[in-house]
A and B are shown apart, each in its own frame.
Chain A
Amino acid sequence: MQEMDVSVWRGDANGGGLEHFKVPARDSQTILDVVAWIQQHADPTLSYRYACRVGMCGSCAMMVNGVPRWTCRTHVKTVLKDNAITIAPLRNLPVIKDLAADMDPFFDKWVAAGGVHHPTRTRDEPIEILDPKTPERVETDTGIECINCSVCYAACDTVSNNVDFLGPAALQRAWTLYLDPKDADPNAILDAVSGKGGCHNCHSQGSCTLHCPNGLNPMKAIAGLKRATVSSFFKGGR
């Protein structure tokens, strides 16, 4: 049976390095299959995170040959180079152990970006009916399929160089909430994305959009937030 050379980053918050494994090649093999094989057959102490295995939960993102990817939906044959693969924990996040990155900073920034819904009604009132054809709703639809995998956050050079930057996913969430007629406080969202780590720090390099496994466009969402804050600036809002 043919074997691949797989280099896996091992270590923790204090540092680490690559360990090498020989993994049997199989048909329709994903990167997550490779990691699981190593943990089940070569080294049971290997730590990594996954849940659904079908590209829905956003748990299994890792750096594959230096590129952030959802490993459960990444076929080995699309990334194998000279019969070798390098797998590492997500960039721009602290490491817990081996391939498991600490997602806390990523989710903390979702909240910091105003990503908490501000309701217009209580649970006792009927649900507000929305027209799916309004321009706001059509725009919102392009941003709500985020699975929180942090691939965009790992891809973003602005996050690397500016620790306060809220990042593409959190800002995209803020943009969809800002457009939502069921959100009672759009100005709170504009305030949240106008601070020192806000949308204005984005350089529009577009790595988020390039690498998003769901084909979303956080760069466009951030541009929308920039427009909305600029327009509120001219109206004397902030």
Chain B
Amino acid sequence: MLGLKLYMAQRLSAMVMIPLTLGHIAVMIYAIQGGLSAAEILGRTKGSVLWFLYYGLFVLSVSLHASIGLRVIVHETLGLKGRALEIFMWLSGLLLLAMGLRALVAVTL
């Protein structure tokens, strides 16, 4: 159900997410100290290649990590297997990717 490749994809995406999550939280706390409004924050993220790459990588990692995790949970708790399990994993990953990219585009482009 979970071979070496999926295991590695999930672990590596987790390693990518750890610094990104800490950076995200740190910047959020820092940014609101001076009372920045949403409009002011958007003013800084829009058009920024750096933030586009930062959150783009975040969205990719989350989609990869969460869809593999959901695959395990759904297999072990609901018994979904075979082709249905593959389709579920890919659909959940693509859904997360689409939602994440939509937010990414709205905030950085």
Contacts and interface: CB of A to CB of B under 8 A. Distances in A.
A230 B3 contact: no
A229 B4 CA distance: 8
A54 to B, nearest CB: 37
Interface in B1-19: 1-4, 6-8, 11
A162 B76 contact: yes
A200 interface: yes
Contact of A194 (B4, B11, B72, B77): B4
B44 interface: no
A238 interface: yes
Given A161-B76, A161-B77, A162-B75, A201 B8 contact: no
B8 to A, nearest CB: 5
A23 B82 CA distance: 48
A161 B6 CA distance: 19
Contacts of B75: 161-162
Interface string A142-186: 000000000000000010011011000000000000000000000
Interface string A195-219: 1111011000000000000000000
Given A230-B8, A233-B8, A195 B3 contact: yes
Contacts of A165: 1
A162 B3 CA distance: 13
Contacts of A196: 1-3
A230 B6 CA distance: 12
Interface in A74-128: none
Contacts of A195: 3
B76 A200 contact: no
Nearest to A195: B3
A66 B46 CA distance: 60
Nearest to A161: B76
B1 A197 contact: yes
A215 to B, nearest CB: 28
Interface in B31-77: 72, 75-77
A196 B72 CA distance: 11
B26 to A, nearest CB: 29
A161 B75 CA distance: 8
A200 B8 CA distance: 9
Contacts of A238: 4
A200 B77 contact: no
B92 to A, nearest CB: 19
- Please name the 6 residue pairs, one residue from A and one from B, whose CB atoms are nearest each other, closest first: A161-B76, A200-B7, A194-B4, A201-B2, A200-B2, A196-B1
9 contacts: A162-B1, A162-B75, A162-B76, A194-B4, A196-B2, A198-B4, A200-B4, A201-B1, A238-B4
